Amino acid sequence: MGFKWQSLGRFLLLLSGFRGWMEALGIGRPPVPLLRPGKTRPVTQNQEQVDRRTGRLLGGRTDGRTDGQLAQTRLQEQVPWTDGRTDGRMDEEPGDASRPRGDAPHPSPGQGRRRQGKKKKKKERRKEKKKERKTKPPQGQTRRGKDKRHTYGDVEQLSSRAARVFSQRLGLQPGQTVAVFLPNEPTYVWTWLALAKLGCAMACLNYNVRGQALLHALAAARATFVLASTELQDALEEVLPDLQRDGVKVFYLSSTSPTPGVEALLPAIETASDEPLPGHYRAGITASSKAIYIYTSGTTGATCVLRAKFSASQFWDDCRRYNVTVIQYVGELMRYLCNTPKRDNDQKHGVRLAVGNGLRAEVWKEFLQRFGPISIWEFYGATEGNAGFINYTGKIGAVGRANAFLKSFAPFELIKYNVEQDEPIRDERGFCIRVRPGETGLLVIKITKNTPFYGYAGDSKKTEKKILRDVLVKGDAFFNSGDLLMMDHEKFVYFQDRVGDTFRWKGENVATTEVEATLAMVNFIREVNVYGVSVPGCEGKCGMAAIRLKPGMSFEGENLYAFTRETLPSYAAPRFVRIQEALEITGTFKQCKGNLVREGFDPDIIKDPLFFRDEKTKSYVPMNADIYAAIQEAKPIWGLIRHFCFLWGSL
């Protein structure tokens, strides 16, 4: 979908107020370079960087300043920016990833420069800095296994050089779309900034995508150029004939090209001028111009540490090494951190704030107990959405809190939804019905000038499908989030489930997230994924749980039965259990349910251990072909009449 500069403005507005939003977008002042090399001064606890000419706060916030001040920070300071990639692995247990190579940990910006200032005179420092610029290798290259540090000034210069090459060598014009096919590395950022300086939209391609899916992503964004990494050579060459046939030009952002017919641009970038680009390149760019295409599945002013792949066992070591104060999480990432073996230094770190989404309440509590009093800002939003929430109060489980300002700027409603019919419930007049506090409802956000919905690139039908019309009055239009949320009496908002994940059984809606949160408390369960499966002869869907056991633990059918009977309504207790070595997740650490739903509970298809909830023995018993056949034929077997009465009657 198309992400516009105005969308970023809406988010900043909710956090920071109009002034921070206007300044962050640069509205009301002439076009300027996105980054400007400047002098660096130490920033330590309770200090801030201030422009000597204007007296404005420039960044480096490490204390508890307001978000309005944070939004006004600019990228015009040379604050170190680190590529923290080491082994490039994703793991959950220590020992899977090799220790980062290199010498002692890098000092913080303030501490390091103070120590240098005591040893060297200003003149000597200037000399060394000048010499370093001449001799250091191009910083657009990332070396695997070695730390690489970049300043914002470095990135400003690299992006200016790249922008010139993109303009003069590739002939890029404002408004064109360029697809970027790169792994997690600093090159990604200066490429993005270079395209922004030219007024070009960037299509962010998932580097795990291959074949037809990759071609579809390029076609959807109507990209005419692809900038790629040689690390993705095989994936690129697989679709290269199709791209060349369609007139899409492909380039590598490397020193040499391993692919005939694909030029390497880095030599030209290294020799290009690094002077700021003239403002006329962006003269036609406004707040509503497209900036980025982000493919839904499904952040400035400080040091940024990047790692190619997430490593749970090395995470806190990285935070200590690079003096990290703010972390970003998504999906199940926080659970993986909690699943690592405990250490004596779990609370010895400088992290004060965690920002992200998808954190379950039970993991939230465990995370705070283990890793200390870290402020957690859980937010809700969608890439294509026109509004969102953020919980800055620390209320466990909430994604935000409604207030008069938010409702006036971004009018939203929670409306009654029919899960079986997959549509909102309407009254006799044909309008949707608001839910009461404490009730779950579909989140819809009114489409207005302040909260526009731009839709999906190249898919007008899908765009129209996400719009609900005549919601409260004739002629209105709302964005259908596809998410079920609940607002309590204090106006705290809680995410409940995706519309497609919630299922209906015995006339009741079952929220998979609520069942998962309950089952996660079982002592032998490490991870759980709940979903609904179809049962012949029954309306709705029956609950099933895929479980990953804790190391050294075994499945206890009787204990699980007793636990679910005490903690869950009868209609919400899973009827089937599947034991897996690992649960499938997306690239953003969200659990996948699609394959599980399709495979159902057929023991001929599933090789994992399967269990069935047996009301007669009050336990989860091993699933076999006879039980499966009886369920398919809707008849009892081996005398378990009451067993199937439970399935079709007493549920």
- What confidence score (pLDDT) does residue 419 get? 77
CB 206 within 8 A of CB 295: yes
Secondary structure (3-state) at 15 = helix
Q: Which of 493, 501, 519 is nearest to 591 (CA)?
A: 501
Number of other residues whose CB lies within 10 A of the CB of residue 582: 8
Six-digit token string for 254: 């490397």
pLDDT digits (tens, 9 = 90+) for 65-81: 333 332 333 223 333 33
Q: Which of 357, 398, 352 is nearest to 375 (CA)?
A: 352
Number of other residues whose CB lies within 10 A of the CB of residue 212: 11
The DSSP secondary-structure symbol of 537 reads T
Residues 6+ apart with CB under 8 A from 404: none
Q: How far is CA 78 from CA 131, 138, 301, in A?
A: 18, 17, 10
The DSSP secondary-structure symbol of 208 reads T
- What confidence score (pLDDT) does residue 206 get? 84
Kindly list the strands in the beta sheet with 305-306, ordered across the sheet, starting from the edge strand earlier in the chain: 148-151, 80-83, 305-306
Q: How far is CA 357 from CA 26, 342, 461, 643, in A?
A: 28, 24, 29, 41
- What confidence score (pLDDT) does residue 645 get? 38
| Helices 557-567 & 512-519 angle (0-180, nearest 10) | 120
CB 302 within 8 A of CB 60: yes
Q: Which of 433, 429, 436, 387 is nearest to 412 (CA)?
A: 387
- What confidence score (pLDDT) does residue 123 get? 55
- What confidence score (pLDDT) does residue 580 get? 96
* Dihedral over Cα of 342, 344, 348, 352: its sign: positive
- What confidence score (pLDDT) does residue 641 get? 33
Residue labelled with tokens 């204390």: 63
Compute the distance between CA of residue 110 and CA of residue 321 in angstroms, rounded to an integer.
15
CB 67 within 8 A of CB 84: no
Q: What are the residue ranges in the chain where pLDDT is below 70?
A: 1-147, 295-302, 634-651
Q: How far is CA 291 from CA 241, 285, 388, 637, in A?
A: 28, 10, 19, 62
For residues 421-449, b (16+ Cβ closer than 10 Å) or e, as one string? eeebeeeeeebbeebeeeebbbbbbbbbe
Compute the distance between CA of residue 480 and CA of residue 462 in angstroms, rounded to an integer.
11
Compute the distance between CA of residue 228 and CA of residue 59 in angstroms, rounded to an integer.
32
Q: Which of 191, 181, 155, 450 is nearest to 300 (CA)?
A: 155
- What confidence score (pLDDT) does residue 119 get? 46
CB 494 within 8 A of CB 379: no
Compute the distance between CA of residue 57 and CA of residue 68 in angstroms, rounded to an integer.
11
- What confidence score (pLDDT) does residue 298 get? 40
DSSP readout, 492-516?
Answer: EEEEEEETTT-EEETTEEE-HHHHH
Residues 6+ apart with CB under 8 A from 25: 5, 8, 9, 12, 287
Terminal C-alpha separation, the chain? 43
